[in-house]
Amino acid sequence: MTKNEADRYLGSALQIWSELADTILFLDDLSEDDTREIASKFDKVRNISPPSGYSEAWGDETRYRKYLFDYARDYADVGDVVIWLDADMIPMQDPREFFEETCFDSFYFLLYDLWDLELAKYRNEPPFWVGHTNPRLWAIRITEEVKTRKYDWQGRGIHCGHVPFSFDAENPCGMPPDLSILHYGYATQEDREDRDARYQAISHQLTGFEKKHAATILTTPDLAPLPHKSRWHLTRRTDRRIYT
């Protein structure tokens, strides 16, 4: 799901996802830039239009997440693996071989919040920045039960999750650390200022813990180098440097 991602990492991410995916299901959140035009240049992208009458997803997130989840499970065949990634996320390495050679149905990934592009550093500050120590469900294998079961969602306008809260993770697997996900959402000062402003706009929907978490976005961070080498790196549309 995207929102005004044209001048961020979208094009770079779509190039990488096009190597990995058979189909990229692309749901745009009423972008006002050329986000949709960039996506349409990639052959594997299938643009999904939300039902008419939907408001902006930020602050009304459950309806968008549920719509995308239902669309993905209806579109996919039994046995397919569906992975949810934001427009500023990529896996460190190619996970396809792991998916194909294992019989797991639910896949839990570690996530690193990058804070420095050139030095490949991530934010390492519990209790708020702990995605790299707390595996979360980012991919599922489509089964007959997933196809037919009705699920319940939290109903929150923010942080509702990519899968329903009632989703019963059958046959789960913790992914190897070198197959972790890299998150570029805070990688530059511009990214951080934008994210901070977005959280302030919906602060009334945040829990106490989430407010404390958001308050750290613009503070001086404690950084650590990535423990594993990434096969890919994202670059901003307005920044033509290549990070290796």
Confidence of residue 243 (pLDDT cuts 50, 70, 90): very low
The answer to whether residue 21 is domain-embedded is no
Q: What is the mean pLDDT of residues 134-139?
A: 96
CA 167 → CA 143, 164, 223, distances in Å?
13, 5, 34
For residue 36, report the phi and psi dihedrals to the nearest 5 degrees: -65, -35
The answer to whether residue 242 is domain-embedded is no
pLDDT recorded at residue 238? 61
The answer to whether residue 237 is domain-embedded is no
pLDDT in tens, 8-25: 999 999 999 999 999 999
Structural contact between residues 178 and 110, judged by C-beta atoms closer than 8 angstroms: no
User: By percentage, how much of the chain surpasses pLDDT 70?
Assistant: 97
The answer to whether residue 120 is domain-embedded is yes
* Domain count along the chain: 1
Residue 80 has pLDDT above 70, yes or no: yes
Distance CA 57, CA 64 (A): 6
Q: What is the mean pLDDT of residues 210-232?
A: 96
The answer to whether residue 180 is domain-embedded is yes
Q: What is the mean pLDDT of residues 199-213?
A: 96
Distance CA 225, CA 78 (A): 39
- Domain membership of residue 182 as a residue range: 60-225
pLDDT recorded at residue 30? 85
The answer to whether residue 12 is domain-embedded is no
Instruction: Residue 234: name the closest of 107, 105, 86, 129 by CA.
Output: 86
The answer to whether residue 188 is domain-embedded is yes
pLDDT in tens, 81-105: 999 999 999 999 999 999 999 999 9
Residue 58 has pLDDT above 70, yes or no: yes
The answer to whether residue 189 is domain-embedded is yes
